[in-house]
Structure formats: C-alpha cells, structure tokens
Amino acid sequence: MSVSGNVQWPSPNNPIWTFNWALADSPDAEGIVISSAYFHGREVFYKASLPSLRVQYDGNCGPYKDPLNYNNAQPNPVNKVNVYTVGFWGFLSVVVEAYHTIGNYKLTERWYFWNTGTIAPRLFSAGLQCNYNHRHHVYWRFDFDVDGAGNDLALEYNTTTPDLGWGPGWHTKQHEIVRLKNPSTRRCWAILNKGAGYPGYMIIPGPNDSTADAFSSGDLWVLRYHGAEDQHGRQGNSLDDGMAPLLNWEPTDGQDLVLWYCAHLNHEAADGAAEVHSVGPDLIPFRF
C-alpha cells in the first residue's frame, strides 16, 4: 500500500509552496518522497527523499538497514502522514511528517518548508535495540532542479579558500566527488543554476550531523543524474551504503546534478531509550 497527497500552501489561490508527497511500501522504501516542489512558482526539487537509514553499534548487535516505509509508519493519531503548519518567531512552515517504529526504534521524519524558501529535512530517533552506543547513518537524496533540470554547478565553501571568482571561500566541483564535513573550516556546499541570476540552494550541515567514519563512506556526494541510479531505497545494505557504484567521476559542470547528504546520529546507551536525538541539514535559497 501507499499514501500520497498534494500541498498548495498556505492556499491554492496564493501558494508559497506547492509539491507532491508520497509514502510507499517496500521495496520502494525511501521514506516520505517529495516531488515537483516549487517555491513561489519556481522549481526547486524534481525529487527528494530519505532512501537509506543504516545503524552501526559499538557492541555485538547489528548492523542494520532500516527502511522507512508505509508498512512501519504508524497512525499518528489517525493518518500515517500528517501535513500541518507551524510558526516560530514570525516565520511559518508547512510540515510533512511520518512516525515509524522498527523494532525498539521510534523514528520521526519531517520535512519543513519555510515561507522564506528554506527547507529543513529532519530525522528524530529514540529507542535502543541493544544496550550499546550506536549511530544512525541517515542518507538523504536531493534531486535539485532549480529553475529546471540541467545547467547545474556544485560548489564547496571553506574559510581557508581564497576568492576564485565565486566569492571568498567558494570553489567549484567539476567532477563527481564524495566529500567529508569539516567544521573547522565551516564547510558547506551549494548547487546553482548557471542561467540568469545564478539561483541556487546552500546545503548547511546541522550542528548534530557529525562526520563519516569507516562504516559510512562520506558526508556529501555530487553526482550526475541518471534515472537508473535512483533505486528507490534499494541501494546498499546493512554493511555497505552502496554509494561507490554511483561515483564514476563524470564531469558535472553544466549538467543535471543530484546531491546525496549523510548525517550521523549518535545515541549513547547511557542516555536511555527515551532520549530523542535529531539530525538534518538546512537547505537555504539564494538569488531567488
């Protein structure tokens, strides 16, 4: 089974955000899928989802790959996916949310679409499957089509990078690549359309998103779009994130690009099963 819907928020007559959402059964286990997302009538996403959630324990437990799908989503309190509005200090957001239980884990996925254009995907986790410290590795896939598919450019920011023509700190990524977070240089990324005005989105790591280890092969991947590489949650397994076969070092400048982002949610066993932890980046528009 599956469930889906369409959002025109705050109203169909004057929408700030319009997009489709869906939550499907296995094997299409990629959490809430956002598609055809437009901000003030300008395209942002072709598709965005959470295709993989892998769990790594310090002790003799797991590892696991936990699919977020319709089957393990729980009515909360009636619907398996809820759409609602929240406000904070004068800002408003439409939220798409699903609550999942997998074994002893209690997992909430949310997509915040703020009236400023900022998008904040989040995963909240509680519960202990085993009484060991562990990490949930959360893989989001962002198929940006800012003002249309193609003609994209990916960039990276570091405080140590001189002005190379894209502003102090910024340099371009000309080929497919995998990158790690580097809080000491305030590393973040951006994708832009090379057309009129250079509109785009920055990808800012969340404060709790941590950095990859040997279990997870990276933090951000810049990839050329290929339809066959969208495996709807089927890529990888509990031991391998499945990202290496997608990384072919193809040229990326001016192409249709997909960005994958991984956050690493730390859960200390001493915190107990009830402690809720959260991770996720902020996606911030510029030149819109």
89-97's contacts with Cβ under 8 Å and 24+ in sequence apart are 91/115, 91/116, 92/10, 93/120, 94/7, 94/9, 94/10, 94/17, 96/7, 96/21, 96/32, 96/34, 97/32
Structure tokens at 252: 């990326």
Residue 273 CB coordination number (10 Å): 14
Q: For 144-180, how does the pLDDT look when each residue is reduced to its tens digit (9 = 90+)?
A: 999 999 999 999 999 999 999 999 999 999 999 999 9
For the four alpha carbons of 52, 59, 134 and 274, in that order, the dihedral sign comes to positive
pLDDT band at residue 89 using 50, 70 and 90 as cut-offs: confident
* Alpha-carbon distances, residue 179 vs 72, 141, 175, 218, 257 (angstroms): 32, 15, 12, 6, 15
pTM score of the predicted model = 0.97
* Alpha-carbon distances, residue 16 vs 11, 49, 281 (angstroms): 8, 21, 21
Q: What is the mean pLDDT of residues 254-259?
A: 98
Q: For 200-213, how does the pLDDT look when each residue is reduced to its tens digit (9 = 90+)?
A: 999 999 999 999 99
Establish whether the linkage from the previous residue to 162 is cis, with ω within 30° of 0: no
What is the rounded CA–CA span in Å between residue 213 and residue 225?
26
What is the rounded CA–CA span in Å between residue 147 and residue 288?
10
Using the predicted structure, report yes or no on whether residue 194 has a pLDDT greater than 90: yes
Q: For 42-68, how does the pLDDT look when each residue is reduced to its tens digit (9 = 90+)?
A: 999 999 999 999 999 999 999 999 999
Using the predicted structure, report yes or no on whether residue 272 has a pLDDT greater than 90: no
What is the set of domains in the chain, with CATH numbers? 2-286 (2.70.98.20)
- % of the chain surpassing 70 pLDDT: 100
pLDDT reported for residue 164: 96
Using the predicted structure, report yes or no on whether residue 217 has a pLDDT greater than 90: no
DSSP string, 148-173: SSS-EEEEEE-TT---SSSSTTEEEE
Q: What is the mean pLDDT of residues 110-129?
A: 96
pLDDT band at residue 26 using 50, 70 and 90 as cut-offs: confident
Using the predicted structure, report yes or no on whether residue 27 has a pLDDT greater than 90: no
pLDDT reported for residue 215: 93
